[in-house]
Structure 1
Amino acid sequence: MSGLPREVIKWLQSLDLTHPIRNVRRDFSNGYLLAEIVGWYYPQDIQMHSFSNGTSIQTKLGNWQQLERFFIKEQLDIAKDVIEGTIHCKPGAAFSLLERMYTLLTHKVLHYLPAKGCPTDFSDSSYQSQLPLHARSTTAQSIKNNLANTELTTKPDRTLSTQKAQAIMEAHVKQRKQDRENHPEHFGIRTSTNGKKTLPKANARDVDKQDETIKEIEVEQRLKPTMS
């Protein structure tokens, strides 16, 4: 449970859940453990026999549909993107969910500062920023890391999925451009006497094109298995 505030960890341990929490992202994605937690506070409303501790996307959606109806009934404000991020095991989503549930169920305030650079978009951007430049994801890998197969399964809309992939690609290209500005020596960028920065001829011709043309190749390959 590394990464959770100490108060939340102690709270979870005090609930004596039926299954140990080994991986927060994975263990909370199907909603079963969250149903257990909520059941401690609303035993008359949460019937665990109606929840399944499975891993299929159908099981996850079934559990979460019940939880969302309960949230609406009890006016528990849980953001939709947090729920979807948790279902699809997005970085940081399950942590945000647990922190929110802690404050709603215990009526206590968390006294801590969010980690610097903590992603609010539930992407792996924070992790990537900690890696050396040569080890960071390519555009294709970034799409693979941040667009889960389960998202394509639960929302098989080609336009929406393409928009998600496009947004991931644009964020990646933006970060690469920022990397070039911050670390010109890594990309072989030279500064001329008039102060203008130039890439070597091979890079100037290919580097920017590499990021943009991925859309027609890797994005289509990423979407084709589900969309066809």
Structure 2
Amino acid sequence: MSGVSREVLKWLQSLDLTWQIKNPKWDLSNGYLIAEIFSWYFPQDIQLHSFYNRQSLELKKRNWYILKNFILRNDIDLKMEDVDGTIHCREGAAAQLIESLYEILTNRRVKKIPPEIEVDYTDHAYQLQLPMHARSTASKAVKNNLRLTEVIADQNIITCAQKPGWFSDRSVFKSQRIINEHIEHRREERLQDPQRFGIKATLGDRCVRRPEPPQQIQSEPSHISNTTDIPAELAGDCNSERPLTREPSVHFKEVEVKQMDKSAFYQLPIQSY
């Protein structure tokens, strides 16, 4: 089973599951084996007769609806991005989910090398390997990073009519988030290669930047304390080097304006027509 460490494989074999996990991407998508793993540690909360061992989208939604409520009710520290990726068969999501379950249920740590690029279950790492002219547009990015099962399961991902009920902390919908990330990546590409996009430097970018003036170190007080002992030439220089103060030199007098008493207007009798 690719993508899963050896210690996690030994743990799965010790659970004596219904069938052996050969490809986590497809074997864990319906949630039945995840429920079976939970039933070993929470037999009173998870009962297998409530789950369906089928691959249809409707039955997968029922299984994961029970599992998501169980995860949120017991405050199990699982990332919903991993759960979503497992449901919709995203590459690497099921392996990451099973490793997280191993660490939570056994209180052990998986020894592995951290990835160079953060895994976000998008094709951003693949797009970086392509030349500039072959990278996807905004519409192509939505098509590549949004599965058909996600659209069928939740129409609000495209229409943005309302927030998903089980994921209340999702502030931006998935389609809009994909477009926002695509715009941000395009902005980074323009900064890295401005000549290709025909970006000309502005006047502020071309102007010469002068270095900041060095800070003056205050000298120690000398033994000369009386200003009368200083010659007139040195006294003039000392007066010219005094720092300017921010105290206002012009004072303004506040003008008092008498307001008209408007209470008399409200006491006039109302005339009828």
Interval of TM-score (by shorter of Structure 1 and Structure 2): 0.5 to 0.7
Match of 1:164 in 2: 174
Structure-2 separation of matches of 1:85 and 1:43: 26
Where does the alignment leave 5 or more consecutive residues of structure 2 unmatched? Answer: 163-171, 207-273
Q: Would the aligned equivalents of 1:91 and 1:124 in 2 still touch at CA under 8 Å?
A: no
Aligned CA RMSD, in angstroms, stands at: 3.2
Structure-2 separation of matches of 1:63 and 1:165: 25
Cα distance 1:134–1:53, how it changes in 2: closer, same or farther (>3 A)?
farther
Q: Would the aligned equivalents of 1:139 and 1:169 in 2 still touch at CA under 8 Å?
A: yes
Residue 67 of structure 1: CA displacement? 1.8
Cα distance 1:159–1:190, how it changes in 2: closer, same or farther (>3 A)?
closer
Query: Matched residue of 1:34: which SS?
Result: helix
Q: Which one is further off, 51-60 or 9-18?
A: 9-18
Cα distance 1:188–1:106, how it changes in 2: closer, same or farther (>3 A)?
same
Where does the alignment leave 5 or more consecutive residues of structure 1 unmatched? Answer: 197-228
Query: Matched residue of 1:77: which SS?
Result: coil
Match of 2:183 in 1: 173
Query: Matched residue of 1:179: which SS?
Result: helix
Cα distance 1:190–1:82, how it changes in 2: closer, same or farther (>3 A)?
closer
Give the residue type in structure 2 aligned to 1:175: H
Match of 2:62 in 1: 62
Q: What whole-Å deviation, never above 9, does each CA across 1:120-164 have from its counterpart, x for those lacking one?
A: x33222333344545543332221121222222232221259943
Structure-2 separation of matches of 1:184 and 1:20: 53
Match of 1:77 in 2: 77
Match of 2:257 in 1: none
Residue 180 of structure 1: CA displacement? 4.7
Give the residue type in structure 1 aligned to 2:52: S
**Higher helix fraction (1 or 2):** 1
Q: Would the aligned equivalents of 2:2 and 2:23 in 1 still touch at CA under 8 Å?
A: no
Match of 2:268 in 1: none
Residue 107 of structure 1: CA displacement? 1.5
Percent identity reads: 43
The reply on whether 1:145 has 2:151 as its aligned counterpart is: no
Match of 1:115 in 2: 115
Cα distance 1:139–1:32, how it changes in 2: closer, same or farther (>3 A)?
same
Structure-1 separation of matches of 2:126 and 2:38: 31
Structure-2 separation of matches of 1:170 and 1:32: 35
TM-score normalised by L of structure 1: 0.67
Residue 31 of structure 1: CA displacement? 0.7
How many residue pairs match? The answer is 193
Give the residue type in structure 1 aligned to 2:126: Y
Cα distance 1:18–1:127, how it changes in 2: closer, same or farther (>3 A)?
farther
RCO higher in 1 or 2 (8 Å CA, sep ≥ 6)?
1
Q: Would the aligned equivalents of 2:52 and 2:63 in 1 still touch at CA under 8 Å?
A: yes
Match of 1:25 in 2: 25
Structure-2 separation of matches of 1:127 and 1:17: 35
Residue 97 of structure 1: CA displacement? 1.6
Residue 91 of structure 1: CA displacement? 4.1
Q: What whole-Å deviation, never above 9, does each CA across 1:157-184 have from its counterpart, x for those lacking one?
A: 2125994323212322332343354456
Structure-2 separation of matches of 1:142 and 1:103: 33
Structure-1 separation of matches of 2:143 and 2:83: 20
